Structure 1
Amino acid sequence: MVISGAVNAGKTEFIKAISEIEVVSTERRATDDTKMIKKETTVAMDFGRIAIADDLVLHLFGTPGQKRFDFMWEILSEGMLGLVILVDSTRPETFRETNRIIDFFVSYRDTPYVIAANKQDRPNAWSPDELRLALRQPPQVKVLPCVASDRESVKNILLELLYVIQERSED
């Protein structure tokens, strides 16, 4: 599974919340696209793993959010089963970048995906329905509430993605 989204959407936190192994992370001190110094940012990938059943283990690959590292997207999407697009639902200024990320992955590979509306625990968060409209997503794409630091929330997102993958394979 590939976990992608704009800078600070919560990708690393998402993987850390659910992984059964210590997350392999390539976070480094860096500036973001606006030259603001960010404490740390993913520069290659994050990797985690969770066993869903005895015969089903999900490998989670988190992509970098900054444009200058987007060459990793193609590498990380080789063989991906599904895609989670994380959106910081408190930062509408990132929605255009989120659309660019969705467009990349959809055009690169026809892979099932869901959108996780992160930071739903914050008072200024856009609802999943508002995000669907802002991101111009069709009704069949699931836009789900999420709190990336909450294991149950992350588990629900991954289960919904597995349902989407299963539905797609039955068609």
Structure 2
Amino acid sequence: MEIMRLVVTGPVGSGKSTLIRSISEIDVVDTDRTATDSTAELKNKTTVAFDFGRLTFGSDMVLHIYGTPGQERFDFIWDMLIRKAHAYILLVSANRPNEFRYARRVATHMNQLAQIPMIVGLTHTDCPGAWSLENIAIALGYVDDATRPPIVFLNPNHASSVAQALITLVQHYMEFSVNDKVSA
């Protein structure tokens, strides 16, 4: 059985832990602690190391899903997780444009450490003040459709929405792998 390691990353409160909890077939391993900094304005608890969940994906693949902390001070955890990952999803809260620049920095950081497939998952799209996909893509620096990663709408509270996003990520990984082999 093949193991595929996926990283779920993004700013605080974008839905990383919720995504993993909604789809994991095992009890999620989490390191949530009481938020004591500005994070407390968004939520009571925050991830301080990483979350881990697992999902059987078809008959011959198991997804190991790792969620990063959202705070930059834990970037050493990001480094550790992304170096062993096969692909990642960047979650971005569509209703918090003040965090788009930070989300872009997270993606840049990840892409500098590992050249692996990624997709963007837009969360909180049903909230007041949510930006459109096109405007968020521009804010994240994805102005060229040819080089823009897949961007999906995602509700981390709904397993079916998460499953669809993971299918998109795995398909993107498969395409990336095929193209990588063809160009070699």
Shorter chain as denominator, the TM-score bin is over 0.9
CA RMSD between the two structures? 1.6
Please, which runs of 5 or more residues in structure 2 have no aligned partner?
1-5, 180-184
Q: Deviations over 1:82-113 (max 9, x none)?
A: 00000011100111110110000111110100
User: Cα distance, 1:50 vs. partner?
Assistant: 0.5
Q: Matched residues in 2 for 1:3 and 1:108: separation?
A: 15
Percent identity, aligned pairs only, is 37
1:94 to 2:102 alignment: no
User: Cα distance, 1:37 vs. partner?
Assistant: 7.9
Please, which runs of 5 or more residues in structure 1 have no aligned partner?
none
Please state which structure has a larger fraction of its residues in strand.
Answer: 1
In structure 2, relative to structure 1, the CA distance for the partners of 1:101 and 1:155 (3 Å cut) is: same
Q: Which residue of 1 aligns with 2:149?
A: 141
1:158 to 2:179 alignment: no
User: Cα distance, 1:120 vs. partner?
Assistant: 2.0
Match of 2:29 among 24, 27, 36: 24
| TM-score, L = length of structure 1 | 0.94
1:61 to 2:66 alignment: yes
* Contact 2:12–2:39 (CA under 8 A) maintained in structure 1: no
Count of residues paired in the alignment: 171
In structure 2, relative to structure 1, the CA distance for the partners of 1:34 and 1:18 (3 Å cut) is: closer
Q: Which residue of 2 aligns with 1:85?
A: 90
In structure 2, relative to structure 1, the CA distance for the partners of 1:122 and 1:107 (3 Å cut) is: same
| TM-score, L = length of structure 2 | 0.88
